[in-house]
């Protein structure tokens, strides 16, 4: 079955009757989501035979800005950072204050073989790195994870 429609100008367009109605990327293109992607840090997830590794790229933050929790097999990583700058010029009668606020929350469902009670985290060089050990038996926990 052919899913492309030829236009008179020779361009191929997706057949609107053959595409998924809820396929937002095809309907609007990927450009509509770009403003939202900028507010979320990049996340890399990898695994080996012993553990899963989650890396959150968040430069400019401090480890105190992060909060990491696990509850009901959901790993939630959030951060909030506030910066305030005040400059005064003694030769002029004004004060300038600049505020900056950024925050995000990312949640991930953990696999069945994740050992929820042994997750560790560290923040170094702008990357929050979480180690999630694997287990042959199901180990569930609800706790806040301390960041080293």
Q: What angle do CA 22, 23, 28 make, to 5 degrees?
A: 110
Indicate whether 15 belongs to any domain: no
Domain count across the chain: 1
Of 22 and 30, the one with more pLDDT? 30
Indicate whether 32 belongs to any domain: no
Average pLDDT over residues 50-59: 94
Position 109 pLDDT exceeds 90? yes
What CATH number is associated with residue 81? 2.60.40.790
Indicate whether 119 belongs to any domain: yes
pLDDT at 121: 97
Q: Structure pTM? A: 0.65
pLDDT at 115: 93
Task: Provide the domain limits for residue 99.
Answer: 41-145
Indicate whether 87 belongs to any domain: yes
| Residue 42 CB-half CA count within 13 A | 5
For the chain, the average pLDDT equals 78
Q: Both tokens of residue 68?
A: 């990491």
pLDDT at 93: 65
pLDDT at 10: 52
Residues 6+ apart with CB under 8 A from 148: 63, 120, 121, 122, 123
Please provide the DSSP assignment of 52-110 as one string. EEEEEE-TT--GGGEEEEEETTEEEEEEEEEEEEEEE-TTSS-EEEEEEEEEEEEEEEP
Indicate whether 5 belongs to any domain: no
Average pLDDT over residues 46-70: 94
Average pLDDT over residues 40-64: 93
Tell whether the torsion through CA atoms of 105, 114, 61 and 82 is positive or negative. positive
Indicate whether 8 belongs to any domain: no
DSSP bridge pairs for 56: 43, 128
Indicate whether 28 belongs to any domain: no
CA distance 45 to 129: 10
Indicate whether 93 belongs to any domain: yes
């Amino acid at each position: 079955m052919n899913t492309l429609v030829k236009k008179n100008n020779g361009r191929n367009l997706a057949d609107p009757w053959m595409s998924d109605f809820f396929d937002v990327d095809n309907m609007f293109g990927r450009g509509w989501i770009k403003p939202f992607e900028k507010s979320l840090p990049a996340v890399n997830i990898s695994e080996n035979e012993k553990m899963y590794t989650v890396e959150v790229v968040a430069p400019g933050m401090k480890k105190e800005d992060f909060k990491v929790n696990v509850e009901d097999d959901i790993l939630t990583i959030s951060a909030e950072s506030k910066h305030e700058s005040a400059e005064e010029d003694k030769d002029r009668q004004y004060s300038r204050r600049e505020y900056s606020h950024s925050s995000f929350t990312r949640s991930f469902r953990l696999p069945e073989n994740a050992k929820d009670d042994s997750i560790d985290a560290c923040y170094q060089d702008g990357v929050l790195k979480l180690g999630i050990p694997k287990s042959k038996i199901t180990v569930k926990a609800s706790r806040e994870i301390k960041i080293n």
